[in-house]
Chains A and B, each alone.
Chain A
Amino acid sequence: MAKNLSGDMQVASANRLSDGAVVFLDDFGQWTRRLDRAALARDKRTAEILLARARAEAASVVDPFLVAVTESGDGVLEPLSLREKIRASGLTFAAIAAEAVRYA
């Protein structure tokens, strides 16, 4: 559920069917792990088209949806909502290491 954050710039995202990994639709209709390769819709109209394209390419992913993003001066995309930030960049704390027997 995308949070009610307004913003006209959107990318299409989903989770990959085979492993659940977060993916974004790129300009060539491929799903990529990298947000920086995501196709960017700059207005509502293009966003609708982007979502339609994502849904057409949904065989290998689960439930595509749009993610509102901002673009910094040098073109780096960042999701607006915290949820999508976490989806794009992972846990916000250090998970315990596999072989750790001690924390800290």
Chain B
Amino acid sequence: MPDTHFYRYDDYDRALVGERVAQFRDQVRRRLAGELTEEQFKPLRLTNGLYLQLHAYMLRIAIPYGTLSSRQLRQLAAIARKYDRGYGHFTTRQNLQLHWIRLEDAPDAIAMLAEVDMHSIQTSGNCVRNTTADHFAGAAIDEIEDPRVWCEIVRQWSTLHPEFSFLPRKFKIAITGSPNDRAAVRVHDIGLRLWKNACDEVGFEVIVGGGLGRTPMIGKTIREFLPKDELLAYLEATLRVYNRYGRRDNLFKARIKILVHEIGAERMREEVEAEYAAMRDSALKLSPETVEAIARQFAPPVLRPRRTRVPEVEAMKLENRAFALWLKSNVAPHRVPGHAIVTASLKPAGAPPGDASSAQMEGVADIADAWSHGEIRVSHEQNLVLPHVAIESLPEVYRALEKLGFAEANVGKITDIIACPGLDYCALANARSIPVAQRISNHFAELARQHDIGDLKIKISGCINACGHHHVGHIGILGVDKNGVELYQLSLGGDVDFGKTALGTILGPAVESDKVVEAVEAMVATYLGARRPGERFVDTYRRIGAQPFKERVYGNS
């Protein structure tokens, strides 16, 4: 088995996760025995990632910084097979959801996670959730520093944090180490961006109060440059301000973004800085040894530069059109010459976005072992990533992915749809998401056309909670309920590219379910008719505005 190139638990981490399993086992026992009411038990199961949905319990498993070893992915497959229905759903937050878990089995399933140094702690509840990172971390060409080192530091600090386990609402942190943000840091409760200042020091820009959901907001920078070793002190200060002053009178106004909005970014900054002043240079300050010990574990695999022009690849490009398109859309440059980052699309035509069967997970694990140093990433676009593939292996990797159904050349294209589970699973939903995604996916299945249409991100949420990130879709689709009928509100122009983070604008009245494909087709046609060379869908929209799209979708009447 290949070495891992990311953090491995030591005995302390293992002890804690094991003790957490034992605690949860006891909590489940007490609930089943009637010693705990549902009201008392619910927050306990939620902080272990266990939801009760429409048809069953759902277990949400954290995939810290979206990084998995092949061994871990195989274990996830095994858990899904043993305690679920043999498949899982990768979410937009680098989590895996198993939708058919029994309460009675949940402690055993979580114990199996602990065997491979994983857990489901704090994947729900009003606490600090799984900290997410750029899925290309450690491989990206534009990276300043690997953000996962800091995610791991935050993971440990936030795990069972005694002060912040009953916050006003959930709390999500994302970290990026690249100027091209792939972690959507401006739409998180706290976003952290590593950057290098004029003195060549690397530190964090601290962005607070972003988020999607009912009241989408773009985060505000409250600290331009934070020395890295003060990260935990600054986070603790921010969380303390939020814990004390965040609203608890109204569930919909309880996120930190509302606090920042109500008191203003400036006052928020003052409060946090005052608290931080009392905490800096405390036991929270990270010693260089601590950081180095963790950073060392993220040392990337030693990759020797290899040929970048490989005759076999060039030949296959000429004879296999789908492969040529796949190279364009699913393969990204790696920082080591002769290597590439491959995205395995979990969006084959007509499939539920982000779902993978146990057999498929095992297949991806095998591919990772053979060609990607045993490592897999989970992207917030609900795809899997093979971060370290030699260019000369691309034909083999492509064929292997093709067998799994994960070689669709559609990454970033119109069928690379993000969709939440929606009304088919989710107790909070207004409308279904997956069947809508499937219809759009089938309609636009032709690859050549998708590549002609170019980059176009469709994001679908089944309700205002926005798990499908519809606000930041180039085309956003939001399910609403009108007198028991599913309707879909369309929005245009959202984006999450750094510096360009934008929320979409609602196009017009919500449309019926069977009109969604038609409406998307009309928007695409508007774009194709109006685009200038090199313009993406969203660029054209920005230039010509919503009116032409509106007219095409709703008619002139």
Contact = CB atoms under 8 A, between A and B. Distances in A.
A–B proximity contact (CB within 8 A): yes
Contact of B103 (A3, A20, A59): A20
Secondary structure at chain A's binding surface: helix, strand, loop or mixed? loop
A20 B104 CA distance: 10
Contacts of A96: 87, 351-352, 355-357, 360
A3 B434 contact: no
A28 interface: no
Contacts of B55: 20-22, 87, 90
Contacts of A19: 56-57, 102-104
B356 to A, nearest CB: 8
Nearest to B55: A22
A45 interface: no
A52 interface: no
Given A63-B38, A82-B486, A101 B403 contact: yes
Interface residues of A, number: 33
A103 to B, nearest CB: 5
A93 B103 contact: no
A49 B81 CA distance: 42
Contact of B351 (A3, A4, A98, A103): A103
Given A17-B32, A80-B484, A98 B404 contact: no
Nearest to A59: B34
B404 A101 contact: yes
A21 B101 CA distance: 10
A100 B483 CA distance: 38
A87 B486 contact: no
A3 B102 contact: no
Interface string B40-67: 0000000000001111110000000000
B424 A93 contact: yes
A101 B52 contact: no
Interface in B475-499: 481, 483-486
Nearest to A102: B405
A62 B85 CA distance: 22
B514 to A, nearest CB: 14
Nearest to A68: B484
Nearest to B404: A101
Interface string A84-104: 001100111101111111111
A18 B56 contact: no
Contact of A101 (B80, B81, B360, B431): B360
A90 B312 CA distance: 48
A100 to B, nearest CB: 5
A82 B426 CA distance: 13
A99 B358 contact: yes
B385 interface: no
Nearest to A58: B38
B438 A93 contact: yes
Nearest to B481: A3
Question: Top 4 nearest A-B pairs by Cβ distance?
Answer: A98-B86, A19-B102, A20-B56, A20-B57
Given A80-B484, A82-B484, 5 more contacts: A19-B104, A22-B54, A82-B432, A93-B424, A101-B404
12 contacts: A17-B31, A17-B103, A18-B32, A20-B55, A20-B103, A83-B54, A98-B80, A98-B359, A99-B86, A99-B359, A101-B405, A103-B405
